[in-house]
Structure 1
Amino acid sequence: MASPTIDDKPIDEEKLGELVGMAVNELGAAYYAPLLVIGDRLGLYEALADGGPLLPAELAERTDTVEPYVAEWLAAGAAGGYVTYDRETGCYSLTPEQTALLADEDSPAFLAGGFQGLVGYQKRLSEIESDFRTGEGVGWHEQDEDVCHGTERFYRPSYETNLIDEWIPALNGMDARLTAGARVADVGCGHGASTIIMAKAYPSSEFVGIDYHEHSIEMARKRAEEVGVADRISFEVATAKEYNGTDYDLVMMFDAYHDMGDPVGVASHVRETLADDGAWMLVEPFANDRVEDNLNPIGRAFYCASTMACVPNSLDQGGDPVLGAQAGEARLREVITEGGFTSVRRATETPFNLVLEASP
């Protein structure tokens, strides 16, 4: 029998089988993403972590949910490896590792927020599809609220783990300056997670949290009040090219610079507002400089998120140039120096982030 072809090109059936298998696995993962968000919102993972092993009926009773839904939800999680099933008892549970991933918001491995953001992105799917042809954009302020909340929950555990103990000490002399008392601007602060972490760690310093999204600033003010650091932080609704203040000892941007429509203009404004001996800390998604070196699971996740959120926001703000979430150090260095900085160095890194220090 002749081998199958497409446009007279032979098909390698073994490779096709591998590709189909990969696609089926991806399809299951895509279907599981909203189920993960449902489990997160309804406290199913938390209840399973606290009280497991549990039968579906027991988990339903503890979470005020309905057994048929919970039973199917549990089986889906077990099939994907997110939940553990005991075939002898019919009970489900979470291992410590599964708990760290899905039920412990303080864990650096907690990723439920990333799935929440993903579900939020999909609510703009038709608009993004249209923008592929028009070149128009979607600003962060136009995204579903799950995008903002999910993004914060995705990044905050890493900030909690690394910001004070690893990233600030990697900057030249900055830890001592902050301890003594410094002026700090957190530009693109969102809900204020990074600003609040810094204010708690450095009570002698003065912080300004800045974001153009008014609702996010309202949320940041509320959270600063809740944790008792509102006296150390003021919040401002402004863009990264227009925020107020001068002579900042430190300007910070966390996973935000690549979203901006005029990154050179932003760099120029940061330079104008920074003290002559100050520093600009940019925390950016980890990326190598060449596309082929980013074709891995982390790069894939960031490229996908960038297509749905980062590039649309940049285009909404003019997009000149559009960096995207996988810009890489060399491209970032290029636009930062074009904005007036003379020195840019990689201070440190994690599997998910590059930490750059730019000096006037």
Structure 2
Amino acid sequence: MCNNCNLNIDAEQTDEFGQKLLEIVNHSSLSLMMSIGHRARLFDIMSEMEHASSSEIAEKTSLNERYVREWLGAMVTGGIIQYDPALKTYFLPAEHAALLTRAAGSNNFATTMQWFSVLGSVEDKIVDCFREGGGVPYTEFSRFHEVMAEESYNSVVCGLFEYILPLVPGLEEKLKAGIDVLDIGCGSGLALIEMAAAYPESRFKGYDFSQESIGRAKQTAEERGITNVFFQVQDVSQMNAANSFDLITAFDVIHDQANPAQVLSEVNAALRTGGTFLMQDIAASSNVEMNISNPLGPMFYTISTMHCMTVSLAQGGAGLGTCWGKELACQMLKEAGFNDIDVHELPHDIMNYFYIMTKT
């Protein structure tokens, strides 16, 4: 007997859901192909070409024609690239290039597509965690720091001077005069290096617990000849840096921490009176019902399951997850000693809220 048979099933609803699943299959496939298109610089180079054959594209990109041709097939059938069957040529419309190339900056969706292959590399380990608990540590994620650096460049560096720093009244003048700045969870240090280059009178420090990321940051700063920035491997829950900084930033960092409450308390203690804490974190609610209408809701919960929550749990941490949300974030900031909390949304970044707190 079929336990799943139900004579009351609405055939039309089943068909509609089947169509949705079919779209998911195709869109999931396209995400992998778009990641390859980004990494192989196919989008960047095609954006500079007119209608071209697969051989011409392969020659221009110095890639294997057979692979390029198959990739183009996915892009054409997926509606990403246009195809002329009479001439057998391919073309990337400018309107699509505006959202798929490195020149697009913070609008480059192709950068984000890389996450799905990165996260897929730990699927077996995540399934084990579903059965046994625990988490998957950072070290298990192939290319994580490389992709995170690109993502940070798009969401932080591209809007740093135009949108983010102006959120704090008078901050630019202080940076020009010279203040002490700390970026916690600095990763490869791209935002901090740009600030150090723009404000040579200020002193900048970057803390991260990843030796690989700190190594990248030091190398970049050295190559650019920037001497007013210092990077250090550091557990930011144990900074012990009372009254040391005038500005502390945390870009997409807090919800990954093993002990986020302790980190926020350390940040409050490390700020001088009148100093500012600028925190970027995911634009979501703490309540799942409020995230149903969020256009990035499924992605946020997926990244949380596959990375943000699990890396915290791997350290025996709180496992806040990507969607810890504005409500819990504000509550934890108040518990850490921050009273006046301003939350902003910026036009260049649909993924994050920006929290501004001044220590009184």
Aligned with residue 235 of structure 2, among 235, 239, 247: 239
Q: What is the TM-score of this pair, normalised by structure 2?
A: 0.92
CA distance in 1, matches of 2:161, 2:279: 15
Matched, 1:352 2:351: yes
The aligned counterpart of 1:294 is: 291
Structure 2 residue aligned with 1:50? 48
| Moved >6 Å (runs of 4+) | none
Matched with 1:280 is 277
For residue 248 of structure 1, what is the amino acid of its counterpart? F
The aligned amino acid for 1:72 is E
* Corresponding residue to 2:315 among 314, 317, 322: 317
- Contact 1:83/1:92 (<8 A) preserved: yes
Residue 343 of structure 1 corresponds to which residue in structure 2? 340
Instruction: Choose the corresponding residue for 2:164, options 139, 164, 167.
Output: 167
Cα gap change, 1:298 to 1:180, in 2 (>3 Å): same
Aligned to 2:17: 19
d(CA) in 1 for partners of 2:196, 2:7: 62
1:69 aligns with 2:98: no
Structure 1 letter corresponding to 2:230 = S
Mapped to 2, the partners of 1:81 and 1:333 lie a distance apart of 42
Q: Report the residue type matching 2:64 in the other structure.
A: V
Deviation at 1:128, TM superposition (A): 0.9
Percent identity between the two aligned chains: 31
Supply the AA of the counterpart residue of 2:164: W
The structural deviation recorded for 1:22 is: 1.3
Q: Is the 8 A contact 2:100 2:110 kept in 1?
A: yes
Matched, 1:92 2:99: no
CA distance in 2, matches of 1:268, 1:39: 43
1:189 equivalent in structure 2 = 186
Q: Which amino acid aligns with 2:332?
A: V
Instruction: Give the Cα separation in 1 of the matches to 2:96 and 2:258.
Output: 38
Distance 1:182 1:347, change over 3 A: farther
Are the counterparts in 1 of residues 241 and 269 from structure 2 also a CA contact under 8 Å? no
SS in 1 for 2:276: strand
Task: State the shift of 1:348 in Å.
Answer: 4.1
Aligned to 2:266: 269
Cα distance 1:228–1:79, how it changes in 2: closer, same or farther (>3 A)?
farther
Q: TM-score, normalised by structure 1?
A: 0.92
SS state at 1:351 partner? strand
Residue in 1 aligned with 2:35? 37
Deviation at 1:21?
Answer: 1.2
* 1:271-326 Cα shifts (integer Å, max 9, x gaps): 12111211111101111343222223312222211111100111122223x32212
CA distance in 2, matches of 1:316, 1:172: 39
Q: Secondary structure at the match of 2:273?
A: strand
RMSD of Structure 2 on Structure 1 (CA): 2.0
C-alpha distance in 1 between matches for 2:340 and 2:77? 50
| 3-state DSSP of counterpart to 1:17 | helix
* Per-residue deviation, 1:82: 1.9
SS at 1:10 equivalent: coil
Indicate how the Cα distance of structure 1 residues 13 and 319 shifts in structure 2: closer, same or farther if over 3 A, else same: same
